């Protein structure tokens, strides 16, 4: 059957030309030093958008195609770039919530002390399963936190052994978002014993035994919310699980928003690990304001014509900061890591690559 001309088939779904997703946004007006409340309409039929100032009854941007704006970016709390204007999505219309965020949940995932060479593979697996990573941090668990994490098996004879294991090395905590995320993450993990886990699950792929079984998943919404608050929360202005950065003999690697959106975080972790020259000593996901991005890139101001675009891109989504160190402390980590990164422009690299 032919699709009518006013319909468009994408992602195995047919969209009407007039179908739209509506979001409430905030935009900082530098001239007036105020926050403007705006309405953003996104039309999946042709990837176009419209921006309206409802209070003034003014159409700030008529419907126009914007290939760089993807449906995946339209999440509450995200910042989107609309022709160099940064809009913070604060809410959405009820109909949009039903269509896009029905059954969407957050859950807590913990990558247990495993070889660093597995971190990239596990993160790639998570992103390929359709989860969005919205918070991420590495850390070292204390026994009190570990006891809280495994309170559901209190009294089990294995508990002291499990506590000793999860507190024995570095872990990575993540907040994962997706449809039915709590149940889906546990399904992706597989049975606690890797020998009994379904083929293709994380524990079947990378688990060693019932103790060293790769990762942890929560059982309920209350459990997930509690673990997220414990791992990522603050107490008296200090993080409950301290950041691991040492700021010594290291360099900073920032994974930019586009790489996160494209699902390349795991590949970057793997590239660093497989090089054999470097290891990641600290990890944290964060957002930056435009002013902070401008300060971060200040050295390029007046030097690179794309300076403004670079700043806007850094501020328009989540970033991941990595503290990277050399396995050989006698090497200059900054210079060596720039070699593995290659030229700033990938096109330049491709023009010189002979492989």
Whose CA is closest to 188, among 205, 170, 171?
205
End position of a domain, from candidates 101, 118, 140: 101
- Determine whether 296 is exposed, middle or buried from the number of CB atoms within 10 Å of its CB (0-12, 13-18, 19+): middle
Is there a contact between 193 and 163 (Cβ–Cβ < 8 Å)?
Answer: no
pLDDT category of residue 158 using cuts at 50, 70 and 90: confident
Total number of domains in the chain: 3
> DSSP letter at 192?
S
Q: What is the mean pLDDT of residues 215-229?
A: 94
pLDDT given for residue 106 in this prediction = 96
Residues 109 and 225 in one domain: yes
The span from the CA of 152 to the CA of 165, in Å, is 17
Read off the CATH number of the domain in which 19 is found. 2.30.29.170
The answer to pTM > 0.75 is yes
142 with 233, same domain: the answer is yes
- Could you tell me if residue 246 is inside a domain? no
> Do 16 and 78 belong together in one domain?
yes
Same domain, 108 and 234: yes
Same domain for 160 and 260?
no
Q: Residue 77 has what pLDDT?
A: 87
Q: Which of 91, 99, 98, 97 is nearest to 40 (CA)?
A: 91
Percent of the residues in the chain that have a pLDDT greater than 90, as a whole number: 78
10 band by pLDDT with thresholds 50, 70 and 90: very low
Verify that 43 and 126 share a domain, yes or no.
no
Could you tell me if 295 and 256 lie in one domain?
A: yes
* Same domain flag for 214 and 306: no
Judgement on whether residues 30 and 108 belong to the same structural domain of the protein: no
Range of the domain at 11: 7-101
Residue that terminates a domain, selected from 45, 71, 101: 101
Decide if 216 is catalytic.
Answer: yes
Residue of 119, 216, 219, 258 with catalytic role:
216
Shared-domain flag, residues 115 and 139: yes
């Amino acid at each position: 059957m032919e699709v009518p001309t006013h319909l468009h088939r994408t992602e195995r779904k047919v969209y009407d030309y007039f179908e739209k997703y509506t979001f409430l946004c905030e935009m900082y007006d530098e001239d007036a030093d105020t926050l403007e409340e705006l309405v953003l309409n996104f039309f999946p039929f042709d990837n176009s958008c419209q921006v309206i100032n409802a209070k003034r009854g003014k159409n700030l941007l008529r419907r126009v195609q914007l290939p760089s704006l993807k449906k995946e970016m339209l999440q509450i709390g995200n910042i989107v770039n609309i022709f160099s204007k940064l809009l913070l999505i604060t809410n959405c219309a009820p109909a949009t919530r039903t269509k896009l965020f029905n059954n969407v949940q957050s859950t807590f995932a913990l990558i247990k002390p495993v070889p660093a060479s597995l971190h990239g593979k596990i993160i790639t697996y998570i992103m390929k399963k359709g989860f969005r990573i919205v918070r991420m941090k590495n850390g070292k668990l204390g026994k009190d936190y570990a006891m809280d994490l495994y309170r559901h098996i209190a009294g089990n004879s294995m508990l002291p052994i499990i506590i000793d294991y999860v507190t024995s090395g570095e872990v990575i905590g993540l907040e994962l978002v997706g449809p039915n995320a709590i149940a889906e993450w546990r399904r992706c993990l597989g049975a606690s014993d890797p020998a009994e886990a379904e083929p293709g699950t994380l524990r079947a792929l990378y688990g060693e035994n019932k103790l060293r079984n790769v990762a942890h998943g929560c059982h309920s919404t209350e459990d997930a919310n509690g673990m997220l608050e414990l791992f990522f929360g603050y107490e008296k202005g200090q993080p409950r699980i301290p950041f691991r950065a040492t700021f010594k003999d290291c360099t900073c690697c920032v994974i930019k928003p586009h790489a996160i959106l494209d699902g390349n975080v795991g590949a970057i972790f793997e590239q660093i690990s497989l090089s054999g020259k470097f290891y990641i000593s600290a990890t944290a996901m964060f957002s930056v304001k435009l002013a902070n991005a401008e300060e971060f890139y200040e050295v390029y101001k007046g030097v690179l014509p794309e300076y403004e675009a670079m700043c806007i891109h850094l501020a328009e989504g989540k970033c991941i900061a990595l503290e990277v160190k050399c396995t050989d402390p006698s090497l200059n980590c900054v210079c060596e890591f720039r070699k593995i990164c290659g030229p700033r422009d990938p096109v330049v690299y491709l023009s010189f690559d002979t492989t």
